[in-house]
Amino acid sequence: MKVEHDHRGQMAAMSMPALVFTIGMIAFPFLYTIWMSFQSYSSTGQVTGWGGENYLRMVADGEFWNGIWITFYLYVLSLVMQLVLGTSLALLLFRAKRLPGIVRSLFISPFMMPPVVAGMMWLVILDPSLGAANWILTSLGLPPSAWLASPVLVVPTLALIDTWQWTPYVALIVLGGLQSLPPSVYEAAEIDGASRRAVFWRITLPLLLPTLVTAMVLRSVDLLRFFDLIYITTQGGPSNHSMTLNIYGFRTGFEFFQLGYAGALMVTLSVLVLGAVMAFNRLRNAVEW
Amino acid sequence: MATKPSDSRWLDCINVILLVLAGVIVMTPTAWMVLSSFKPSHEVTAYPPTLIFAPTVENYVTLSEQTPFLSYAVNSLIVTVGSTLFGLLFGAPAAFVASWTRITWPAVVALMARMAPGTLFLLPWYVMFRQVDMIGSYWALILTHAVITLPIVIWVLLPYFDNIPRSIFEAAQVDGCSPFRIFRRIALPLVASGLAVSAILAFVFSWNFFLFSLVLSNSQTKTLIAASFNFIGEGSTNWGGLMAAATIIALPPLLLAAIVQRWLISGLTLGAVKG
pLDDT in tens, A31-58: 999 999 998 877 666 777 788 889 999 9
What is the rounded average pLDDT of the residues B234-238?
68
Q: Closest Cα of chain B to A131: distance in Å?
A: 8
Cα–Cα distances in angstroms (integers) from residue A2 to residues A6, A13, A16, in the given order: 6, 16, 21
Between CA A184 and CA A186 the distance in angstroms is 5
CATH code of residue A91: 1.10.3720.10
Average pLDDT rounded to a whole number, residues A231-240? 90
Of B264, B144, B244, B141, the C-alpha closest to B204 is: B264
Of the candidates A7, A28, A164, the beta carbon closest to that of B29 is on A164
Asked if B208 reaches chain A (Cβ–Cβ under 8 Å), the answer is yes
Summarize pLDDT for A132-148 with one digit per residue, the tens. Answer: 899 999 989 898 888 99
With a CB cutoff of 8 Å and minimum separation 6, the contacts of A238 are A149, A150, A151, A154
In this predicted model, what pLDDT tens digit does every residue of B114-157 receive, in sequence order?
A: 888 999 999 999 989 988 989 989 999 999 999 999 999 998 89
How sure is the predictor about A153, in pLDDT bands with cuts at 50, 70 and 90? Answer: very high
Which pLDDT value is given to residue B259?
Answer: 83
Cis ω on the peptide bond leading into residue A206 (within 30° of 0)? no
Q: How many CB pairs under 8 A join A and B?
A: 270
Confidence of residue B266 (pLDDT cuts 50, 70, 90): low
pLDDT value, residue B65: 86
B112 touches chain A (CB under 8 A): yes
Give the residue with greater pLDDT, A185 vs A216. A216
What pLDDT, on a 0 to 100 scale, did the predictor assign at position A65?
96
- Residue A31 falls within a domain, yes or no? no
Distance between CA atoms of B249 and B247, rounded to whole angstroms?
A: 6
Which residues does chain B have within 8 Å of residue A218's beta carbon, measured at their own beta carbons? 268-270, 272
A60-109 pLDDT tens trace:
999 999 999 999 999 999 999 999 999 999 999 998 877 788 888 899 99
Mean of per-residue pLDDT scores for chain A: 89
Give me the domain span that covers residue A257.
Answer: 62-287
Q: What band does B1 get if pLDDT is binned at 50, 70 and 90?
A: very low
Residue A98 has a pLDDT of: 77
Chain A residues touching residue B115 (CB < 8 angstroms): 221, 270, 273-274, 277
Q: Which residue has the higher pLDDT, A288 or A222?
A: A222
Mean per-residue pLDDT for A230-258?
92
pLDDT band at A200 (very low <50, low <70, confident <90, very high): confident
Answer yes or no: is A259 within a domain. Answer: yes
Of A124, A123, A144, A147, residue with least CA distance to A135? A144
Model pLDDT, residue A170: 94
Cα–Cα distance, A208 to B169 (Å, whole number): 37
- Residue A51 inside a domain? The answer is no
The burial class, CB within 10 Å (0-12 / 13-18 / 19+), for A256 is: exposed
Total domains, chain A: 1
Residue A114: pLDDT band with limits 50, 70, 90: very high
Residues A20-29, mean pLDDT to the nearest whole number: 91
User: What backbone phi and psi angles, to 5 degrees, belong to A160?
Assistant: -65, -45
Average pLDDT over residues A110-118: 94
**Residues of A whose CB is below 8 A from B273:** 173, 176-177, 211, 214
Q: What are phi and psi of B118, to 5 degrees?
A: -55, -35
Residue in A197, A278, A117 with CA at minimum distance from that of residue B210 = A117
The CA–CA distances, whole Å, from A78 to A71, A75, A175, A218, A226 equal 11, 5, 20, 13, 11
Task: Determine the pLDDT at residue B264.
Answer: 75
Identify the weakest region by mean pLDDT among A172-186, B153-167, B233-247.
B233-247
Beta carbons within 8 Å of B77's beta carbon, 6+ residues apart: none
Tell me, what's the pLDDT at B86?
Answer: 96
Is residue A89 domain-resident?
yes
B104 inside 8 A of chain A by CB: no
Q: Which amino acid is at A173?
A: I
Which CB contacts under 8 angstroms, 24+ apart, belong to A46-54?
A: A53/A260, A54/A260, A54/A261, A54/A263, A54/A264
Q: Which band of pLDDT confidence, cut at 50, 70 and 90, is reported for residue B236?
A: low
Least Cα separation, residue B195 to chain A (angstroms): 17
Q: How confident is the model at residue B271 (pLDDT cuts 50, 70, 90)?
A: low
- More confident position, B148 or B43: B148
- Residue A12 included in any domain: no
**SS3 assignment, position B199:** helix
**Residue A194 pLDDT grade (very low, low, confident, very high; cuts 50, 70, 90):** confident
* Cα of A150 to nearest chain B Cα, Å: 18
Cβ distance B167 to B204 under 8 Å?
Answer: no
Single-letter residue type at A87: T
Question: Distance (Å, rounded) from C-alpha B235 to C-alpha B229?
Answer: 9
- Residue A25 located in a structural domain: no
Rounded average pLDDT over B183-194? 90
pLDDT higher for A164 or A236? A164
User: Which of A124, A196, A280 is the mutation pick for testing B, counting most B CBs within 10 A?
Assistant: A124
Contact A284, A214 (CB under 8 A): yes
d(CA B169, CA B35): 54
Q: List b or e across B51-75, with b for residues whose CB sees 16 or more CB atoms inside 10 angstroms.
A: eeeeeeebbbebbeeebebeebbeb
Quote the pTM value. 0.90
Question: Does some domain include residue A253?
Answer: yes
The single-letter DSSP state of residue B184 is I
In a domain, A151, yes or no: yes
* B245 in reach of chain A (CB within 8 A): yes
d(CA A89, CA A91): 5
Mutate to test the interface with B, among A120, A178, A225 (most CBs of B within 10 A): A120
Position B275 scores a pLDDT of: 41
Question: What is the mean predicted confidence (pLDDT) over A7-24?
Answer: 88
SS3 A50: strand
The pLDDT value recorded for residue B12 is: 85
Q: What per-residue confidence (pLDDT) applies to B121?
A: 92
Per-residue pLDDT at A9: 86
B18-22, B102-106, B260-264: least confident range? B260-264
Question: Cα-flanking dihedrals φ and ψ of residue A39, to 5°?
Answer: -105, 150
